[in-house]
Structure 1
Amino acid sequence: MPQDARPVGRIEAAQGPVIDVRCTYLPPLGQALDVVNGSNRYVLVVHQHLAPTLVRAIALHAVAGLYRGMPVFDRGAPLHVPVDPGCLGRMLNVFGEALDGGAPLADSDFRNVLAAPPALADTLPPIRILETGIKVIDLLCPFVRGGKTGLFGGAGVGKTVLMMEFMHAVSAEMHGVSVFAGVGERMREGHEMWHEMQDAGVLQRSLLVYGQMDESPGVRFYVGYTALTYAEYLRDTLASEVLFLMDNIFRFIQAGSEISGLLGRMPATVGYQPTLPSEVASLQERIVSTRSGSITAVQAVYVPADDMSDPAVATVLGHLDSTVILSRQQAAKGIYPAVDPLRSGSRIMDHHLLGMRHYHAARTVREHLARYLELEDIIAMLGIEELSPEDRRIVGRARRLQRYLTQPFAVVADHTGIAGARVPLAQTIADCEAIIDGRYDQLAETDCYMRGAMPS
């Protein structure tokens, strides 16, 4: 802020993070304002015009130390962050400031956190697969390059490990970069991910942006936009594959609901904010491919009370190209990654886009696993000997497929003692066809478990 800056107004009221400012002129909605109290600086974002000389703003810092009558200064711009190629390998906050103890980013170039998506004429349709090397995902619920994937899973089913493996695949195999948005994360989770990514060797091709759980709802709301701004910058400047991960988008929606209540808006369905669809869309519609590169998003989604019809979940689902459901039942059986193969899917599962061979293999694998699920109760009560010979063959092959679709991950190799394996999609399809055709009927089921490709 310049030394000779003149205040735009003064604080008239402060109620928690809601600050009313009496102004000499009206700053536009979304404008960033500064309040200085000694060595402390507070950033406010204008959200409402209450009168010709009165605005209501949300504070992005803890408000201890603010009082009525304090001068408020206009930044002259919306909330923006410094962008620089040196951001890779760093941990930043919602303002682009270092959280890792390193040097601040160069402030020669800035980008606004809230920005319009690229023009429709400049975007490319998401119709290609992004191969991750993870067998069950590439086969049954493939990622769409430049698309959006929802990762539905509770605690302890391997969600974070799966995200780290995605980041490893993009950085090591595709020479791309990853941007991770920790929305409302616990400090413990941030520390763990930071150290695990260092140990796995993927940190130098990644950027972490955190808004912690104990921070203002404004921080938790804007941190997703900050991370997406860095993802757009890396896509446009590096012209490479960018993987954008958000954990958890439900906390972004919760922060928006808190802000809506603080501003006095009447709640809508099930108590959510009336602006829920537009807020989610303003984030999702910026995740697109352009001629410079593509942003592929993986978003963890919390499902309140396991109700997939919850308005927040339904709103997010409307934007997704692929859904990956992580099942606690799969994890309890030792099936990792714990992807539910029958409930997960992708809109790109079409023979025109995948080719007949991939489409047929995926459909046949699902048929075998669905038939095995139907017969599980009979097997538990009467034994497998009571099944017909055809059903016994299907069950044996389905169990081998179930174990084949497990996979050791490179990012946890130090913990498991098993070297990570990446399997190309063509090899996965060939192996599944061989199992379905009965070429591995004599192979023990344990020999299919936690391995890469099948022996030729």
Structure 2
Amino acid sequence: MRVGSKVDKNRHQPSKYLRHARSLHGSLSLYDKRDDKDDDDKCKKPTDECEFEEETCEDEEEKAALKAHVGAGKAEKCIIEEPCEPVPDPCEEGVPAVVGGTPSKGGGGTAQKTLVGKRREGVIHAVIGPVIDVYFPDEVPEVLNALDVMDAPIGHLVLEVFHHLGNNIVRSVAMDSTEGLRRGQRVVDTGYPIRVPVGKAVLGRIINVVGDPIDERGEIKSEFYSFIHNDAPELEELSVKPEILATGIKVIDLLAPYVKGGKIGLFGGAGVGKTVLIMELINNIAKSHGGYSVFVGAGERTREGNDLYYEMIESKVISIDDDKSKVALVYGQMNEPPGARSRVVLTGLTIAEYFRDIDGQDVLLFIDNIFRFTQAGSEVSALLGRIPSAVGYQPTLGTDMGTMQERITSTRNGSITSVQAVYVPADDLTDPAPAATFSHLDATTVLSRPIAELGIYPAVDPLDSSSRILDPDIVGEEHYNVARAVQKTLQGYKSLQDIIAILGMDELSEEDKLTVARARKMQRFLSQPFQVAEVFTGHPGKIVPVEKSVDGFKRLLNGEYDDIPEIAFYMVGDVDEVLAKANQLATSMSGGGPAKPAPKKEEKKEEAKPAEAKDGKPEEHKKPEEKEAKPPKVEPPKAETPKAEATKDKDPKDKKK
């Protein structure tokens, strides 16, 4: 059974999910009906209109105490005033799972020691923005219980209990707007934490933090529900089989490879490309991924969430017409109150846990942005009156982050691979929020503003980014050696930049000049056009296999491409495209450059040229005319002249490069 957020490990795993085919979103039926329970090791209690404690009878003393409690509480715990039916023995064999009434939306295998589903009614005592104080005349609800506000102006408003203040007053945080609430308004305790629909019914849908659909496609009819507060898997349930997760992005696959079933962080300040990179990972991994994906939008732009939804519909990842969707979307965007932003990550994680534990799936969990989860926790902490810690963050920063991150792991049933965008305030990686995230990650991809300013995208810093599985025993000896050699070359170039800035390239030794030349080519070769950014860049997106990435950089390190200009390595896919681009550049430099609109321009100018040529064809007079005609891309009439000019122009251009 579940007590608060504790899980009885002896119970069968699926029993913590409620089997019920009705929607979560009827308010009264959520509280006044009995739970649909599994038949195994549970006491069934019974009455149509009365709610009593559910417990497991382990010995005779407990059984007798429970019978006495149920009998004594019969008269005062009825919701309505009509007489109740006789109460059968709660541990008697053969009692049906549901005796009378309609099953409620409580959790199977999630009984609590207090009255499950009992309608403790209270009233709003104070409204302080998103923080609501509620007075209960008799018994206060447990911490983390969900409360439902009756007759809320916005409809379905859920509060979560955070503090017991004394004098039968609890302090709770609202999961939606509190506009229009007033003192004295009725509040009902559900008797359990926030629960959300899970399973295949949520695929292709957009839900909010409490499981309500927000995509205007009707209610979600799921037969499985789960609490958003769960324990992490036990140590003996974990599975540690490191395996590389190919992304098709060169800089990631080569220098900071992702581990399947691990936690990956994308660190970066504002505007360096975190969201674009996470969208590309969704495009490259989730679309080709056979299992299910969950995307959590926590405190980010609503426009981006809307764009992602319609992009997934276009790419058939979400199918509106049938049940073939592969992704569930959970949104708590930046316009939501801090309570929703601090819990929406747990909602998405709960959905992913169901696919991992029950369906045995390898699930992809994308979170954008994990910093907003911490930021919302800081806002809630301040509203609750807690003393802040460093830089104003909540004193429970490490606990909140650890509790959430430890649930993202691989088990024997399946795995959750998490990709988390992490906003870095003021580009300071020592800030407590990103620093608290670092220790939980298997791979870190750091996006650098100086690299973004060079126009190199993705703006991944190859020296700051790291991965736990960049190990010869996992990725292979060749991959490991090439990656370390690339990092060594880039580090050497970085150490020479100050000397170059002060003294210039001429003061470097020949070996250092070669290091700089190769490092600059590597920098540009680490750039790559993205499919999701094709509309902005004009470059078709590229996906590069890991083997091609390793082979290309290995050849570059061996000096096979020392004679190819840097520009040929910029915004291309694999090394074959580098060679093709280099040949194209050489052709254009030798006078045979592509100029498709040129014939129309030449036709107009050829009418004027013959008139000048009829007077006489002096060779000396013709050359300056050709030089003047070069800016409008007019090809010279003679084939010998461009060859001579090309040989003259080659030397100064090569010297510049």
Q: Smaller-chain TM-score range?
A: over 0.9
State the alpha-carbon separation in 2 of the partners of residues 416 and 439 from structure 1: 29
CA–CA distance in structure 1, aligned partners of residues 245 and 130 of structure 2: 42
Decide which structure has greater strand share: 1
Matched, 1:347 2:468: yes
Distance between the aligned counterparts of 1:205 and 1:161, measured in 2? Answer: 21
Higher relative contact order (CA 8 A, sep 6+): 1
Which residue of structure 2 aligns with residue 29 of structure 1?
A: 143
Q: Deviations over 1:338-362 (max 9, x none)?
A: 1011111122223333332221111
1:138 aligns with 2:164: no
**2:543 is matched with which residue?**
422
Does the aligned pair in 2 maintain the 1:83–1:106 contact within 8 Å?
no
1:65 aligned partner, one-letter code: G
Q: Given the alignment of the two structures, is residue 169 of structure 1 paired with residue 284 of structure 2, yes or no?
A: yes
Distance, in Å, in 2 between the alignment partners of 1:440 and 1:286 is: 47
Q: Which amino acid letter does the alignment assign opposite residue 294 of structure 1?
A: S
Task: Select between 411-420 and 366-375 the one with higher mean Cα deviation.
Answer: 411-420
Shift of 1:237: 4.6
- C-alpha displacement at 1:140, in angstroms? 0.8
Q: 1:118-129 to 2 correspondence within 5 Å?
A: 118-125=233-240, 127-129=242-244
Deviates more, 1:410-419 or 1:440-449: 410-419
CA displacement 1:34-79 (0-9 Å, x = unmatched)? 1111673321111112236332211212222322222221223210
SS at match of 2:299: strand
In the superposition, relative to structure 1, how do residues 414 and 15 fare at CA in structure 2: closer, same or farther (>3 Å)? closer
Percent identity among equivalent residues? 49
Aligned counterpart, 1:56: 171
* 202 and 341 in structure 1: CA distance in 2 versus 1, 3 angstrom threshold: farther
State which of 405, 417, 422 in structure 2 corresponds to 1:284.
405
Tell me, yes or no, if the aligned pair for 1:407 and 1:421 is still in contact at 8 Å. yes
Answer with 100-109 or 426-435: which moved more: 100-109
Q: What is the deviation of 1:313?
A: 2.2
> Counterpart of 1:173 in 2: which secondary structure?
coil
Aligned to 1:187: 302
**Counterparts in 2 of 1:445 and 1:306: CA distance versus 1, 3 Å:** closer
Which shifted more, 360-369 or 343-352? Answer: 343-352
- The DSSP-based 3-state class of the residue aligned with 2:157 is strand
Closer, same or farther in 2 for the Cα pair 1:270/1:399, shift >3 Å? closer
Deviates more, 1:329-338 or 1:83-92: 83-92
Alignment of 1:114 with 2:229, yes or no, is yes
**Are residues 1:404 and 2:515 paired?**
no
Equivalent residues of 1:26, 1:52 under 8 A apart = no
Q: After superposition, what is the alpha-carbon deviation per residue over 1:308-349, rounded to whole angstroms, capped at 9, x for unaligned?
A: 222222211121222111112212222111101111112222
Larger-gyration structure (1/2)? 2
Secondary structure of the corresponding residue to residue 297 of structure 2: strand
CA distance in 2, matches of 1:358, 1:270: 41
Residues 241/451 of structure 1: CA separation in 2 closer, same or farther (3 Å cut): farther
Letter in 1 for 2:416: I
Partner of 2:360: 239
Q: What CA distance in whole angstroms lies between the structure 2 residues aligned with 1:52 and 1:452? A: 67
Q: Which runs of 5+ in 2 are unaligned?
A: 1-26, 33-78, 80-118, 319-324, 580-657
Higher deviation after alignment, 385-394 or 284-293: 385-394
TM-score (norm 2): 0.66
Name 1:11's counterpart in structure 2.
124
Contact 1:257 1:273 in 2 (8 A): yes
CA distance in 2 between counterparts of 1:168 and 1:239 reads 23
2:366 maps to a residue whose letter is L
Contact 2:293 2:328 in 1 (8 A): yes
Note if contact 1:146-1:295 (Cα within 8 Å) is conserved in structure 2. yes
Find the partner of 2:214 among 99, 117, 137. Answer: 99
Q: Of the candidates 267, 273, 277, which is equivalent to residue 152 of structure 1? A: 267
CA contact (8 A) 2:152 2:180 kept: no
Contact kept? 1:146, 1:294, Cα under 8 Å: yes
Quote the offset at 1:447 in angstroms. 2.3
Structure 1 residue 197: Cα displacement: 4.2
Gaps of 5+ in 1: none
The residue that corresponds to 1:263 in the other structure is 384
Contact 1:164/1:197 (CA < 8 Å) preserved in 2?
A: no
Tell me the residue number matched to 2:348.
227
Q: Distance in 2 between matches of 1:374 and 1:241?
A: 43
Partner residue in 2 for 1:2:
28
> Within 2, Cα distance between the matches of 1:272 and 1:156?
23
Find the aligned partners of 2:332 and 2:391 in 1 and give their Cα distance: 26
Which of residues 154, 160, 175 is equivalent to 1:45?
Answer: 160
Instruction: Give, in whole Å, the separation in 1 of the partners of 2:128 and 2:241.
Output: 45
Whether contact under 8 Å (2:270, 2:423) holds in the other structure is no
Which residue type is aligned with residue 168 of structure 1?
N
1:273 paired with 2:387, answer no
Distance 1:380 1:275 in 2: 46
Matched residue SS, 1:69: coil
- Distance in 1, matches of 2:249 and 2:524, equals 13
Alignment partner for residue 447 of structure 2, among 326, 342, 350? 326
Secondary structure of 1:208 counterpart: strand
- Alignment size in residue pairs: 456
Paired with 1:400 and 1:200, the residues of 2 have a C-alpha distance of: 35
Q: Distance in 2 between matches of 1:281 and 1:97?
A: 27
CA distance in 1, matches of 2:535, 2:380: 43
- TM-score for the superposition, normalised by structure 1: 0.93
Q: Which amino acid aligns with 2:189?
A: D
Pick one of 419, 424, 427 that aligns with 1:298. Answer: 419
CA displacement, residues 93-133 of structure 1 (integer Å, 9 cap, x when unaligned) = 11222222223221321011111111211111263221111
Which residue identity is paired with 2:457?
A: Y
Distance 1:126 1:275, change over 3 A: farther
Q: Deviations over 1:254-305 (max 9, x none)?
A: 2112222222222223322121111111110111011232212222222223
CA distance in 1, matches of 2:388, 2:270: 29
How far 1:247 sits from its partner (Å)?
1.8
Taking structure 1 as reference, are residues 2 and 85 closer, same or farther at Cα in structure 2, changes over 3 Å only?
same
Q: Compared with structure 1, are the counterparts of its residues 197 and 377 closer, same or farther at alpha carbon in structure 2 (3 Å cutoff)?
A: farther
How far apart, CA to CA, are the structure 1 residues paired with 2:258 and 2:453? Answer: 25
* Secondary structure at the counterpart of residue 207 of structure 1: strand
Distance 1:46 1:247 in 2: 26
Give distance in 1, aligned partners of 2:152 and 2:498.
Answer: 70
Q: Which amino acid aligns with 2:203?
A: L
Residue 167 of structure 1 aligns to a residue in which SS? helix
Residue type at the aligned position of 2:122: G
Change in Cα spacing, 1:145 to 1:38, as seen in structure 2 (3 Å) is closer
Cα distance between partner residues in 1 of 2:184 and 2:368: 39
SS in 2 for 1:334: coil
Alignment RMSD: 2.2
Q: 2:216 is paired with a residue of what secondary structure? A: coil
User: Is the 8 Å Cα contact of residues 542 and 573 (structure 2) preserved in structure 1?
Assistant: yes
**Structure 1 residues 443, 11: CA separation in 2 closer, same or farther (over 3 Å shift)?**
same
